[in-house]
Amino acid sequence: MPDAPKTIKDVAAKAGVSIAAVSKVLHGSGTTVRVGTQTAERIQKAAKDLNYRPNRHARSLRLNRSYTVGLIFHGIDNLSKQLFKVHVLDGVHDAVIPAGYDVILLHDLSRGPGYSQFVDGDRFDGLIWARLSSFEQFSGIVQQVKSPMVALSTPSRPGLPLVPKLCCNNRQGMDLLIDHLWKLGHRQYAYLTESYLAEMMEPMDREEGFCEAVGRRGGDFEIVRFNDAASEVYRWMEQGRYPGAVIGWNEDTAGYVLESALKLGIQVPNEISVAGFDSTWYCDTTSPRLTSVRQPILQMATDAAAILLALIEGEAAPVLERSYPCTLDCRESTAEVNPRFI
């Protein structure tokens, strides 16, 4: 720990000017303080010589800006097992770091002690809220949060607060998948989901999309809702009441099906077809490789961050809602229906 950090005073002293001039030259935007070219140069040099960097907290206090963006998920424990979230983090980082902002990852404590920590105006200049839960939660948040926010992976719905919303087109994605399976002859489907998702808007859309896509074609389907898919899928598979096509609400859930099938000696895709949603690289590592609907996660995250930045800078929201088409990555876990399921 060499010397005390340099302050604006040190620079002013060294350059023989007032601290106002220094401030103006180094960051000034307004037209309030005018400085001559030579003076400016002298100040620049002094700052450089002293290796001066302005105190972050002082600026923040004065300007009421934190240069920090919050990224909020429902859960952030065990991120390593949730590639979707890590991808979002990657995308947000990409967009936000070059602009000089930090990003802080937060847990969505909505069911807990309230939103206080997000609401604090001084902590974040803006918030990216991923996968908003209920209608009520959304409205509650918007009412309380003081800084700009954008909702990621949150579908648009009539009556929702006027916050920018970005979401992949879950219905279209599901339709793509069902179309694929239907052509392979599948008429019986199961959709595996978890109970905590019941009121989240994107998972709801996805589930409804599934029901519609199968229903419209005249197929049979059931919704299987687990409290903890990781530990319960195996037992469900073991009971043997699965249909010929099993779809996980996301790729992780579909992964549990694959693992269980392997343990139980159920052949995928010969006996049953399995598919998921998201299509990160995880789907390339399963055996068999997992067929999955793909959403453009990285793009969505980057866009969300860019929009948030614009809002922070005071621009009007460029878009209020954006829907991203999904594509289908056909891998190895889906095939023609086994005759036994017809």
User: In the complex, which residues of this chain contact a copy of itself (CB under 8 A)?
Assistant: 1-2, 5, 51, 53, 55-58, 60-61, 66, 76-81, 83, 86-87, 89-90, 93-94, 97, 102-105, 107, 116, 120-123, 143, 146, 280-282, 285-287
Q: How far apart are CA 104 and CA 100, in angstroms?
A: 13
Q: Are 152 and 300 in contact (CB under 8 A)?
A: yes
Which one of 23-31, 79-87, 173-181, 205-213 is the stretch in contact with DNA (CB under 7 A)? 23-31
Query: 74 by DSSP, 3-state: which?
Result: coil
Interface residue with DNA among 13, 44, 59, 199 (CB under 7 A) is 59
Interface residue with DNA among 14, 17, 131, 210 (CB under 7 A) is 17
| Distance in Å, CB of 14 to DNA, minimum | 12
Q: Which residues contact 216 (CB under 8 A, 6 or more apart)?
A: none
Q: What is the DSSP letter of 196?
A: G
Q: Could you tell me the two tokens for 177?
A: 């998948």
| Site size toward DNA, by CB under 7 A | 32
Nearer to DNA, 20 or 79 (CB): 20
Q: Which residues contact 17 (CB under 8 A, 6 or more apart)?
A: 39, 42, 43
| Distance in Å, CB of 221 to a copy of itself, minimum | 28
| Distance in Å, CB of 11 to DNA, minimum | 7
Nearer to a copy of itself, 39 or 60 (CB): 60
Q: Could you tell me the two tokens for 275?
A: 């598919």
Nearer to DNA, 8 or 261 (CB): 8
28 binds, among a copy of itself, DNA, none (CB under 5 to 8 A by kind): DNA
For position 63 contacting DNA by CB under 7 A, the verdict is yes
Q: Are 121 and 70 in contact (CB under 8 A)?
A: no
End-to-end CA distance of the chain: 75
| β-pairing verdict for 291-294 and 327-329 | antiparallel
Interface residue with DNA among 41, 45, 49, 62 (CB under 7 A) is 62
Nearer to DNA, 33 or 264 (CB): 33
89 binds, among DNA, a copy of itself, none (CB under 5 to 8 A by kind): a copy of itself
For position 21 contacting DNA by CB under 7 A, the verdict is yes
Q: How far apart are CA 268 and CA 271, in angstroms?
A: 6
| Distance in Å, CB of 166 to a copy of itself, minimum | 19
Nearer to a copy of itself, 58 or 342 (CB): 58
For position 5 contacting DNA by CB under 7 A, the verdict is yes
Which one of 35-43, 141-149, 200-208, 286-294 is the stretch in contact with DNA (CB under 7 A)? 35-43
Looking at residues 36 to 55 of the shown chain, list those that interact with DNA (rule: CB under 7 A). Answer: 36, 39, 52-55
Q: DSSP readout, 228-256?
A: -HHHHHHHHHHTT---SEEEESSHHHHHH
Q: How far apart are CA 331 and CA 290, in angstroms?
A: 6
For position 7 contacting DNA by CB under 7 A, the verdict is yes
Query: 221 by DSSP, 3-state: which?
Result: strand
1 binds, among DNA, a copy of itself, none (CB under 5 to 8 A by kind): a copy of itself
Q: How far apart are CA 202 and CA 196, in angstroms?
A: 12
Query: 115 by DSSP, 3-state: which?
Result: coil
Q: Which residues contact 211 (CB under 8 A, 6 or more apart)?
A: 191, 221, 223
Q: Could you tell me the two tokens for 332?
A: 């190895």
Which residues here bind DNA, judged by CB under 7 A? 5, 7-9, 16-21, 23-24, 26-30, 32-36, 39, 52-55, 58-59, 61-63
